[in-house]
Chain A
Amino acid sequence: MRQRRRQGPSLAAATLAILRKDLRLELRTLETLTATLIFTTATFVVFHFALDRDELVGDLAAGVFWVTILFASALTINRLLANERSQGGYESLLLAPIDRNAILLAKMMFLFLALCVLEIFAFAVFTLLLLGPNPTTEMLALIPICVLANIGLATIGTLVSGIATDTTARELLVPLMTLPLFIPVLIGAAEATSSLFEAAPLIVDLGRWLSLIALYDAVFVLIAYAIFEYVVGD
């Protein structure tokens, strides 16, 4: 009884279908985006009072910026696959004749886009509240840093979200697993950013730190692609 094996959609078609559905859901509810943007603003305000400074420069500015992004991203990661369950459609996704890496790729792309929106917003608020130097053209070098950092955060985040989604301690497990795995990305991104946030912004050692993040991204993309099928399976 093997005669009728229906061809499922291609990996690209399935990925785009899931991504489109996720974006539609997020734009309709704005649950995750609103929470992360409020969290980011609140964290900068807390740093403003805790450090008792009006302006931050250099290492400290870069550290505060990236630590805030990392913590805010944990909020999105927490809900990434759990949202599928709470919305109710997760098992219909698992019943479909799709390569399950389509789920991985769609969630990674969704998280990547969410992080881009978060970083644009965070940079604007950070500039208003804490950043010492005025924005300069050198700061455009933040774009490749954010792109590479986001690939790493999105890959690790999706993998951890898949592992944690069926556990009862998901909200505890996600930050416990993601934050240590994020450290190399944090180091690379903060080091690459620190000279951009100096009083006289400069581009120093950018290639070296971008290479570190890119290498780390590549390792996790391969790991995620190899094991995601088992992560979302039983």
Chain B
Amino acid sequence: MSAPIAITASKLTRFYGNRAALDEVSFEIRAGETLVVFGANGAGKSTLLRILATLIRQHDGSLTVLGEQLPKDGWAVRGRVGLIGHESLVYRDLTARENLRFIARIHNMPLDDVDPMLERVELDSRADEPVRNFSKGMMQRLSTARALLPQPELLLLDEPRANLDPGAAMLLEPFIGAARHRTRVIVTHDIDYGLEQADIALGLKHGRAEWIEPADHVGADDARRLYK
């Protein structure tokens, strides 16, 4: 029996002013699959992630995420989606522990989950420092902990390995890597990493889907052409 559909996007369109940042993009992924999105800067990758995260609405087309129609039932998806992006989405003047305790409260999670999560991302020794003192790599680890604490069913990852040294990338791999029950949408410029992670690959150019294929049908050269 195949896994249920996790995301169905049909002719998804989003404008910024008169410019279509996303132009009739369609795809479908099943639970546990990974969609990797390639494309040059401004191709619409981050816009797509923000629509999936319910942070912005599509202007046209239909979208179902985790069985709920967006944007109408966005409230039912929030809390089931974890977003790790360019911004850490934590409060700079709070400590790492205070940030995660706040996240636990607004996601109705037990506060007891916070300390084990800090240990898993190896921030327990710095947990009581304001995060404004953290390096970019530490911020990325805290951001990962922030996104994963509510145990999301769908992970949206925008350049998840940016700012991470090889050790930190290995540390976070079990959290953000492929897993049977984890559906992921990854935006990356790292073609080798992306193709290695992908079940389905989507190439975006100027907001339009150049191709959407099973990852084993896509070569690195296909992805590189998007950047020319």
Mark out the residues of chain A between 1 and 24 whose CB falls within 8 Å of any chain B CB in the assembled complex.
Answer: 1-9, 13-14, 17-18, 21, 24
| Cβ-defined contact, A95 with B55, below 8 A | yes
| Cβ-defined contact, B91 with A87, below 8 A | yes
Contacts of B93 in A (CB 8 A): 25, 28-29, 87
In the assembled complex, A88 has its CB within 8 A of some CB on chain B: yes
In the assembled complex, B31 has its CB within 8 A of some CB on chain A: yes
In angstroms, Cα B57 to Cα A5, docked, is 21
Total interface residues on B, using CB and 8 Å? 40
In angstroms, Cα B23 to Cα A123, docked, is 58
Interface residues on A, range: 20 to 34
| Cβ-defined contact, A91 with B4, below 8 A | no
In angstroms, Cα B76 to Cα A29, docked, is 35
| Cβ-defined contact, A94 with B55, below 8 A | yes
Given contacts A5-B76, A17-B102, contact A87 B92 (CB under 8 A): yes
In the assembled complex, B125 has its CB within 8 A of some CB on chain A: no
In the assembled complex, B195 has its CB within 8 A of some CB on chain A: no
Fill in one digit per residue for A88-108: 1 if any B CB lies within 8 Å of its CB, else 0: 111111111110000000000
Contacts of A3 in B (CB 8 A): 67
Residue of B with least CB distance to A90: B89
In the assembled complex, A52 has its CB within 8 A of some CB on chain B: no
Supply 28 A–B pairs (Cβ within 8 Å), ascending by A: A1-B6, A1-B66, A2-B67, A3-B67, A4-B80, A5-B76, A6-B79, A6-B107, A8-B79, A9-B106, A9-B108, A13-B108, A21-B102, A25-B93, A87-B93, A88-B90, A88-B92, A89-B90, A91-B87, A92-B89, A92-B103, A93-B106, A95-B78, A96-B103, A97-B80, A98-B78, A233-B57, A234-B56
Instruction: Please give me the 3 A-B residue pairs with the lowest Cβ-Cβ distance, nearest first.
Output: A97-B79, A17-B105, A2-B67
The interface of chain A, by Cβ under 8 A from chain B, is 1-9, 13-14, 17-18, 21, 24-25, 28-29, 87-98, 233-234
